[in-house]
Amino acid sequence: MYRFLLKPRWILSHLFVLVVVVTMINLGFWQVNRLDERKAANAVVTNAMKQQPQPLATVLPDGTATTAEQVKAADYQPVYVSGMYRADEQVLVTNRTNNGSPGYWVVTPLVLADGTAVAINRGWVPYSYSEEGPWDDFAPPKGMVTVQGLLRQSQVRETNGLVSSPKDSDVGTLRVLARLDVGRLAQQTSERMIPGYISLRVQDPAQNDLPVPVPLPELSQGPHLGYAMQWFAFSLLTIIVYPLLLRRYAKRKQIDGDDAEILDGDLPVSEPDLPVSD
């Protein structure tokens, strides 16, 4: 009844279904791994933000000689620093949102007592402001200020996807950047820059309604668990449904074969009744 399953075309069908099932199971475990990575990353951010704010010089004692790895190790660490803003070196970072509204980040270098500077992400402003200005509505305060916020890594251009992110020009003085690239900002500032930036939370003296400080990161687990359960469910359904389809096909094949035998066979011929003589 099931000998047809050993024919080459059916063997190919079995192999195809096997590959599909294995692929779906692997995709499920991949989503589980992504979930574990997300949980680990959230734990790192949570633990960092639980720390008491420390002076920037304590967290990054090497100053402008700090490496990217050192900044990464201190990512999301609460810090505070005092200095004076360089409003003339301020830039906007495009394609940033606030509660779904598009706009810019306002990034202003803060000059420290030793003459070096650190980039301060002062927050968000809407797209109603332009590259040409004026930027008076969100001008930084003059004189000495103290900024408290989260230390963050410099943003880099993504080039490993299907579509690379926009690239800033390597030359000239830019008023708008595609990302908060501290290295690119340092090319057009007078001071040596610390290779990281501070996302402002509190400032003394306080700034006006604009810019709006960037909200804390959302530490959700994302959709990975749901996606994993879907892949596992699809693989289980395939394992159950495929044998049922084969069984149904085999029964239909058997019924079709029985009908063919009846149609191809000779119909019985009845002999005429002969009179019985006494």
pLDDT digits (tens, 9 = 90+) for 119-128: 999 999 999 9
Q: Please state which of the ranges 3-7, 69-73, 103-107, 256-260 shows the lowest mean pLDDT.
A: 256-260
Element (H, E) at 182: helix 182-186
Check residue 53 and give its pLDDT. Answer: 95
Distance from C-alpha of 183 to C-alpha of 202, rounded to nearest angstrom: 25
Rounded distance between C-alpha atoms, residue 223 and residue 221, angstroms: 7
Calpha distance 229→4 (Å, rounded)? 35
Domain boundaries, the chain: 3-39+224-255, 53-204
Q: Is the pLDDT of residue 159 over 70?
A: no
pLDDT score at 3: 78
d(CA 133, CA 34): 43
Residue 1's pLDDT is: 65
Question: pLDDT (tens digit, 9 = 90+) per residue, 39-71?
Answer: 988 888 888 888 999 999 999 999 999 999 999
Residue 277 confidence class, pLDDT cut points 50, 70, 90: low
Predicted confidence at residue 162, as pLDDT, reads: 54
Is the pLDDT reported for residue 23 higher than 80? yes
Per-residue pLDDT, averaged over 218-224, amounts to 87
Express as a percent the part of the chain with pLDDT over 90. Answer: 69
**pLDDT at res. 85:** 98
Does residue 267 surpass a pLDDT of 50? no
| C-alpha span between 9 and 231 (Å, rounded) | 27
Over residues 76-104, the pLDDT tens digits come to: 999 999 999 999 999 999 999 999 999 99
> At 235, is the pLDDT very low, low, confident or very high (cuts 50, 70, 90)?
very high
As a whole number of angstroms, the distance between CA 238 and CA 243 comes to 9
Report the b/e string of 242-274 with b at 16+ CB within 10 A: beeebeeeeeeeeeeeeeeeeeeeeeeeeeeee
- Reply yes or no on whether the pLDDT at 174 is more than 60: yes
Q: Mean per-residue pLDDT for 154-170? A: 75
Tokens of 190: 């007078």
